[in-house]
Structure 1
Amino acid sequence: MEPDHEVLVVGAGFSGLCVGIRLRRKGVRDFVILDAAPSVGGVWRHNTYPGVAVDIPSATYCYSFEPNPGWTRSFAPGAEVRAYAEHCADKYRLRPHLRLNTRVERAVFDEDADLWRVATTGGEITARFVVSAVGPLDQPKNPDIPGIDDFAGTVLHTARWDHGHDVAGERVAVIGTGASGLQVIPELAGKAAHLDVYQRTPIWVFPKVDFAIPTPVRALFRIAPPVQRLVRLVTAAASEVIMVLGIVHYSKVPFLVRAVEALCRAHLRRQVPDRALRRALTPRYGFGCKRPSFSNRYFPTFMRDDVDLVTTPIDRVTPKGIVTADGREREIDTLVLATGFKILELGAMPPFPVVGLDGVELGAYWDEHRYQTYEGLSVPQAPNFWLMNGPYTVTGASWFSIIEAGATHAVRCIAEARRRRATRMTVKRGPHDAFTRDMRRRMRGTILAQPSCARSNSYYFDRHGDAPYVRPQSGLHVWRRARTFDLDDYSYGP
């Protein structure tokens, strides 16, 4: 039977939009992009909490083929990133392919017809090929704390912020001091009557070179795109040096990680003169075990008289507030959860049930047998299926470089299947297993294999103790592999 569409893409964030752009460039027109939200942008459509912004330099936060000369700051605010997503959807004529307000609930491979049956809130859709382009930062994660559902006040998650609620004059508590907490906490301080910040694990923080990009510079980027591309190349290279040399090749150059840690400690000393507070804010794990961030406002927030850093573990939440392990209850009006996302766990990766050959559900298989892929995208159990941002994909390169590499891989495969007139394309077991073994071997030389990482509470790790969120290779290597991997690593058939 003929499917409803040749290609179905799940997710209209930057990953899904990139796949759509690549498909159009390859001459594929029969594709649809589904998203549960009413507009494009993915994580940047959902995350609108006060202070939200990119936490890497803006120059790298765009497609290589579509530089954005309009960023107003060196670290672009979230509203500008959302506007950039809308711009790309318009410029690359993706609107006719979008089907918004449509959530994917399940995908099942029909082995007789060589197509996917995708159950959605709008009914079943069939497609020859499926690309799951739902980003890893998609499903908000609430903390597993007794009594949290009994809290009588307002509960806000940073990933689903309610702008109709005003915290002015309220007693507010924030649980979580990761990347989103680091941005929202300074925004709440001063507006709330009092702010309690509950920290389980400190975060490594770089000084943030954040400034408004002058209008003449933006004009230069607009009339001379190669200048902006050069800036993008330089900032991406700096990130690569820290990530690849310091984290991936930690066993060879541990001094680089120590130098980065010294920089972060010096930043903390300059901003927090109180020794006891400084000690509480200093990580006890190596740089790279957990996602670091940039800020000039986070540390000074804790010097305010109306802000308390609470490091005593939380025992439970009551209708009136939070009780810590020492028995003290702090009453609050609003509880803010800056607790991140479900990532390496059942139901989150893949983000919906994917039932492949012989009835194997991919998420359950990974949960039992450890995460494993070929080039971070495909598995033998799921023909005609690619998972963007899957296990072993994230490098130190720009997030957009990672996205573009994944889209290039998936679309190369689809184009090859079309060329061969094949209705089924499946990665072979040998190349798949070889790639997974190589990733696990390389991981042994990274900072993530160091004992100190056990104290980091990092989402890089799964329940098996693996760190499949990270790909222990350079971004340049991944870029090259996406364009040169052997297409005969896949089998083809009618």
Structure 2
Amino acid sequence: MTAQMKTNASAKKAVNSPSHIYDTFIVGAGISGIAAAIRLDQVGYTNYKIIEKAGRVGGTWRENTYPGCGCDVPSALYSYSFAPSAKWSHLFARQPEILSYLEDVSNEFNITSKIEFNNELLNAAWDESHHLWVLDTTTGQYLSRTVIFATGPITEAQIPRLEGLDTFTGEMFHSAKWNHDYELTGKRIAVIGTGASAIQFVPQIQPKAKELFVFQRTAPWVLPKPDTDLGEFSKSIIAKYPAIQASWR
């Protein structure tokens, strides 16, 4: 079971054993946590610590691997302004490429070596008397003057409480925890919800399904994605003339 993070700025918690005090403590090594660490390094604030509950960087692009998973804004926009890439194979990047990009940037800026992986935040409380954050994690306790919570708004998959789910005997999983070992070909499939994930994976699984039912509470607005394949020639031009990507931003 995943431990639940608790934050309470008004709670009083006494400082005990830790002796080192960090200036900044970053929780999460996804796209925001990596950016925060890079910017801290660039301005000379090196007394910080990053923890990540998983075993690698990437955040949502590590966790989500459903069919068709990718970016719904152009790759040139969904990347760091200080680290443009000419490697994107499509105008709208796919999940594996985005994850690879984040890993490359983290390594390039020497962030990966500073991350403590497989360490999850359990509780964060403000110690009013010492003006410090007391942070309890799965590997110990830390003290910091400031905290950057880069955990994302939807870090845990939520299964809706629907009547009959407890007696359903078929295969069931959340799109954020996609079961790639389960073969969907020839199956009757029900999809609950039409959010961004469903918009991407439904067209991918529809050709395989015997029947596909999509249930939605509110219909979203959907437009054709103006995606295009960026061949080797296009990528070479983008690499040679960085102003092209800069103009897209």
Scaled by the length of structure 1, what TM-score is found? 0.46
* Cα-to-partner distance string for 1:168-204 (whole Å, 9 max, x where unaligned): 2222111111111111111111212221111221110
> How far apart, in 2, do the equivalents of 1:173 and 1:133 lie?
33
Amino acid at match of 1:226: A
> How far apart, in 2, do the equivalents of 1:227 and 1:28 lie?
32
SS state at 2:86 partner = coil
Amino acid at match of 1:23: L
* Cα-to-partner distance string for 1:414-469 (whole Å, 9 max, x where unaligned): xxxxxxxxxxxxxxxxxxxxxxxxxxxxxxxxxxxxxxxxxxxxxxxxxxxxxxxx
Matches within 5 A, 1:357-376: none
Amino acid at match of 1:21: I
Matched pairs, number = 232
Matches within 5 A, 1:140-151: 140-151=157-168
SS state at 1:15 partner = helix
* Cα-to-partner distance string for 1:341-367 (whole Å, 9 max, x where unaligned): xxxxxxxxxxxxxxxxxxxxxxxxxxx
In structure 1, the residue matched to 2:128 is 111
> How far apart, in 2, do the equivalents of 1:217 and 1:194 lie?
40
SS state at 1:84 partner = helix
Answer whether contact 1:34 1:103 (CA < 8 A) is retained. Answer: yes
Quickly say closer, same or farther: Cα 1:196–1:216, change in 2 above 3 A. same
Answer whether contact 1:11 1:35 (CA < 8 A) is retained. Answer: yes
In structure 1, the residue matched to 2:9 is none
Amino acid at match of 1:188: I
Answer whether contact 1:38 1:100 (CA < 8 A) is retained. Answer: yes
In structure 2, the residue matched to 1:129 is 146
In structure 2, the residue matched to 1:196 is 213
In structure 2, the residue matched to 1:217 is 234
2:51 to 18, 27, 34: 34
In structure 1, the residue matched to 2:6 is none
Amino acid at match of 2:115: L
> How far apart, in 1, do the equivalents of 2:108 and 2:142 lie?
27
Question: Structure 1: which 5+ runs fail to align?
Answer: 234-494
> How far apart, in 2, do the equivalents of 1:145 and 1:193 lie?
24
Displacement of 1:88: 1.0
Displacement of 1:4: 4.3
Amino acid at match of 2:198: G
- The answer to whether structure 1 residue 16 and structure 2 residue 33 are counterparts is yes
SS state at 1:7 partner = strand
Displacement of 1:30: 2.0
- The answer to whether structure 1 residue 88 and structure 2 residue 105 are counterparts is yes
In structure 2, the residue matched to 1:79 is 96
Quickly say closer, same or farther: Cα 1:206–1:152, change in 2 above 3 A. same
In structure 1, the residue matched to 2:85 is 68
Amino acid at match of 2:213: D
Answer whether contact 1:9 1:32 (CA < 8 A) is retained. Answer: yes
> How far apart, in 2, do the equivalents of 1:149 and 1:69 lie?
48
Using CA pairs under 8 Å that are at least 6 residues apart, name the structure with larger relative contact order, 1 or 2: 2
1:183 to 186, 192, 200: 200
Which structure has the larger Rg over C-alpha atoms?
A: 1
Answer whether contact 1:105 1:119 (CA < 8 A) is retained. Answer: yes
Matches within 5 A, 1:16-415: 16-231=33-248, 233=249
> How far apart, in 2, do the equivalents of 1:80 and 1:97 lie?
23
Displacement of 1:119: 1.2
Higher helix fraction: Structure 1 or Structure 2?
1
> How far apart, in 1, do the equivalents of 2:85 and 2:43 lie?
24
Amino acid at match of 1:115: L
Question: Structure 2: which 5+ runs fail to align?
Answer: 1-14
> How far apart, in 1, do the equivalents of 2:79 and 2:154 lie?
18
Amino acid at match of 2:64: N
> How far apart, in 2, do the equivalents of 1:26 and 1:101 lie?
28
In structure 2, the residue matched to 1:391 is none
Answer whether contact 1:140 1:157 (CA < 8 A) is retained. Answer: yes
SS state at 1:164 partner = coil
Displacement of 1:45: 0.7
Amino acid at match of 2:100: A
Displacement of 1:155: 1.2
- Cα RMSD (Å): 1.5
Answer whether contact 1:31 1:97 (CA < 8 A) is retained. Answer: no
Amino acid at match of 1:209: P
Amino acid at match of 2:222: V
* Cα-to-partner distance string for 1:139-188 (whole Å, 9 max, x where unaligned): 22221312323322211111111212221222211111111111111111
Displacement of 1:101: 1.3
> How far apart, in 2, do the equivalents of 1:103 and 1:147 lie?
34
